[in-house]
Every structure is written in C-alpha cells, then in structure tokens.
C-alpha cells in the first residue's frame, strides 16, 4: 500500500531569547516576549521555550553570554528546534556567530517583522514596499549568506573569487534597491494625485499599535469589509472609505499599525502609507485598553508620530476592547501597594476624562458598546474642522443636539 504524501506545511518550532538590561524589570521583558511570541505565531511558528538573561551590556560577539549560548545550543539540539528568535536587532557578526554555534536558523526581531510583512502584503504596492525593506536589511548581512565560500574569510592563500561574488551580489542588490525606489516614487506621485483629487472633504486617519482593533472600527463606521483578524499586521495597505454621519461626509483611512522597535527600513518603505497620517486633518488614536501595557503602546505610537513629523492635529483617543478589560479588586485587609491591575475601568475613565486637553471615548467595537457616543464625538470634531475651513457651510451641518445621528 502506497503511503500518501502529506503536502501540509510543517509548523516550525521556535525558541525565544531576550536580555534584561540594567534598569529593566523582568515583567516588562516578559511582556516584550509575549509580543514576540505573537509575532512568531503570526509568522507561523510555535514557541516552545523562552530564555532570559540578566546582563549589563550585550555581548558584541554573540549578544548573550557564552554559557547561555551553550545552554541554548544543547536545548535546540535535544528538542529538535527549527529556529531561535532574538527580541533585539542583531549585528551581522552576532547573527553569523550565533548560527555557527547553534547550528540553527537565527532570526532577530527586525527579520521576523519583515517576514510577517512579506506574508501579509497583498497588493503590488505593499509587496514592493516590503521587498525594498528586505533588500535594505539584507545588504549589510550578505557575508553571512556566503560562508560556504572559504575564500571570503581572507588571509594568505584565501584571497580570491569569494570576495568578487559578494561584490557582484551587493551590486545586484543595490540596483534592485534603486529600481524599487523608482517604482515607489512613481506610485507615491500617483497616490499624491489621488489624495489631491479627494476634494474638500475632511480626512480622518485611524492610527494605533498593531492589533488594537483599527480595522474592526473602520468596518463598523464605514460599513465596509476591510480585512480584520486577531493577528499582528493584518492591515498593510491603506484603505480609504467615504463615511457619512448625519449628513456630514468625510474620508476615513485605515493605516498600518505601529509596533515597538519598528525597523527603520519599514518606516522608510511605508512612506506613502504613512503620508495618509501626515496629511490627515485629524487622528483617531485607537488603544487596546485590555492590554496590560496599553500606556506603553500609547507612548510608542506618539513617539512614532513625532518621528513622522505629523505635527499637532486634533486627536480622539479611542479606548477599544472595554469588554475584555480585567482588573483585580484588593481585599480590605490587603496592605500591599496598589498596582495597575487593581484599577477599575471606571477609575481609568475618570482619570483620562479629567485631562482637559485630550478627547477620549471608551468603546467596544466588537460588542458595539458606546457607539452612539463615539459617533457624536466624531461628528462634532469633524464638523468643527469643516466649519473652520468653510464658515459659510455652517448652516448645512447642525450641532450634535440637532443632527439626526
């Protein structure tokens, strides 16, 4: 009897590695590893074990200490692990040394994010952006690909063709980078024309950390069918929809999510996607309030927006997923200090709503909680921008109290 050949793709097993540097707490690094595990899962790998090491400064040769490298090597050998993923960006030398020691595929955080982006890219434009980022990442790491050419290592009697092959590859990659940049700049000009042709409507951009529910909220407001999934970077292509609340039309853009340590190659490659954010009249900053580190995520997004030079824009902070928020009530006789886990949703609402310079709203896009209040706030903010721009249109768009939302 002939045994049928399975064509099912084998899920790769991975080990995660991170370091705890001076000034960092173990809980904080554990949360970073949770995010890395989610990234690995999105890429299609199963996490089997995590390794943590407290060090003062990363090792220049292998990032982690020699003993920890040996411990990793023994574990991956015994448990038939396919890859080792590091939570920080590794230098080409560290990457080469670790692969030599561990005898396994070694990825760093940047490499993993690029892989997820390549998997998620659907349109020709997104694929071009990701390809450019990958080549820019690959260029300084080419030597690692050519270790089979012993001549590459230099020294007496070892000079020769190996060097030439790498130089040839570098030239090919540089030419590809130039070509991709030309393609992107052509698309950028087309997209700029598209944005200019959108007329006088107010432009609203959804921004936020990855996997906070931006696309779900987009589908809810615009009644469209944008791809949304509980995975990181489900959205790579900017989607623009015309939305009408009451009788007030405006444009709503769903953009790529931000993440901690977002590779600079990606920021550069996704310039036109992020131009939607730069050229927006107002921002809807979506936050997953059920995430333990939601305040850190807010800071990451704000920092990225600052780096993009988006300038000061009217912003509504939309605290999403209130249905998934969990907290622990302290016992009356518990004298230990309160932590973030002991803060109720009502206390959070009061503390954020007390900030006069910030517009906030607490909703659940999935359960459709507080949607009428959200629509009212959105209508009022968009109306203020529109009337400020076209004062004679004031009578066309009534106040929230008069508008039939």
How far is residue 158's CA from residue 167's CA, in Å, rounded to a whole number? Answer: 16
pLDDT band at 18 (very low <50, low <70, confident <90, very high): very high
Burial 262-293 (b: 16+ CB within 10 A, else e): bbebbeebbebbbbbbeebbbbbbbbbbbbeb
Higher pLDDT, 151 or 247: 247
pLDDT in tens, 20-72: 999 888 888 888 898 889 888 888 889 999 999 999 999 899 999 999 999 99
The dihedral region occupied by 328, where left means phi > 0, alpha psi between -120 and 50, and beta the remainder, is beta
- Round the average pLDDT of the chain to a whole number and report it: 79
Environment class of residue 189 by beta-carbon count within 10 Å: exposed (0-12), middle (13-18) or buried (19+)? exposed
SS3 351: helix
- CA distances for 14 relative to 41, 92, 97, 165, 334, angstroms: 10, 20, 18, 32, 41
pLDDT in tens, 221-278: 877 655 555 555 555 556 788 888 888 888 888 877 788 877 666 666 666 567 778 8
Place of tokens 């459709």: 368
pLDDT in tens, 92-109: 889 889 988 988 889 888
Q: Which fold has domain 12-107?
A: Rossmann fold (3.40.50)
- CA distances for 364 relative to 220, 259, 315, 322, 347, angstroms: 11, 22, 19, 5, 17
Mean pLDDT, rounded, for 204-217:
86
Angle between helices 109-120 and 124-138 (to 10 degrees): 160
Instruction: Indicate if 200-328+340-396 has the same CATH topology as 12-107.
Output: yes
pLDDT in tens, 167-194: 777 888 888 888 988 888 887 777 777 6
* End-to-end CA separation in angstroms for the chain: 68
Check if CATH label 3.40.50.300 holds for domain 200-328+340-396: yes
Quick check: 105 and 82 in contact, CB under 8 A? yes
**β-sheet bridge partners, residue 252:** 204, 241
pLDDT band at 354 (very low <50, low <70, confident <90, very high): low
Domain ranges of the chain: 12-107, 117-152+160-183, 200-328+340-396
pLDDT in tens, 295-327: 888 998 888 888 777 778 889 999 999 988 887
How far is residue 29's CA from residue 34's CA, in Å, rounded to a whole number? Answer: 9
């Amino acid at each position: 009897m002939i045994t049928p050949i399975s064509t099912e793709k084998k899920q790769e097993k991975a080990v995660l590695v991170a370091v705890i540097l001076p000034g960092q707490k173990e809980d904080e690094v554990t949360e970073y590893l949770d995010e890395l595990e989610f990234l690995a899962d999105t890429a299609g790998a199963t996490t089997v074990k995590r390794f943590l090491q407290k060090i003062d400064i990363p090792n220049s040769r292998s990032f982690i200490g020699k003993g920890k490298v040996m411990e990793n090597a023994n574990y991956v050998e015994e448990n038939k692990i396919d890859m080792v993923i590091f939570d920080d960006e590794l230098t080409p030398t560290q990457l080469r040394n670790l692969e030599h020691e561990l005898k396994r595929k070694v990825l760093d955080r940047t490499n993993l994010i690029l892989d997820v982006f390549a998997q998620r890219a659907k349109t020709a434009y997104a694929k071009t952006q990701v390809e450019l980022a990958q080549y820019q990442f690959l260029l300084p790491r080419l030597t690692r690909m050519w270790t089979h050419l012993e001549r590459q290592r230099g020294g007496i009697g070892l000079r020769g063709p190996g060097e030439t092959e790498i130089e040839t590859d570098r030239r090919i990659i540089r030419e590809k980078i130039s070509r991709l940049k030309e393609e992107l700049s052509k698309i950028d000009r087309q997209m700029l024309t598209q944005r200019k042709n959108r007329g006088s409507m107010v432009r609203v951009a959804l921004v936020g950390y990855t996997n906070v529910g931006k696309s779900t909220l987009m589908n809810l407001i615009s009644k469209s069918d944008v791809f949304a999934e509980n995975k990181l970077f489900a959205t790579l292509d900017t989607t623009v929809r015309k939305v009408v609340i009451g009788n007030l039309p405006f444009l709503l853009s769903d953009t790529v999510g931000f993440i901690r340590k977002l590779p600079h190659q990606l920021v550069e490659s996704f310039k036109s996607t992020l131009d939607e954010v730069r050229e927006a009249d107002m921002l809807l900053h979506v936050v997953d309030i059920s995430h333990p580190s939601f305040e850190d995520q807010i800071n990451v997004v704000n920092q990225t927006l600052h780096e993009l030079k988006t300038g000061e824009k009217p912003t509504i902070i939309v605290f999403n997923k209130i249905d998934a928020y969990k907290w622990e009530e302290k016992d009356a006789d518990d004298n230990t200090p309160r932590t973030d886990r002991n803060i109720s949703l009502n206390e959070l609402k009061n503390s954020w709503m007390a900030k006069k310079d910030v517009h906030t709203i607490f909703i659940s896009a999935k359960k459709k909680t507080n949607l009428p209040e959200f629509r009212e706030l959105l209508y009022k903010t968009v109306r203020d921008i529109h009337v400020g721009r076209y004062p004679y249109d004031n009578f066309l768009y009534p106040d929230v109290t008069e508008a039939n939302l």
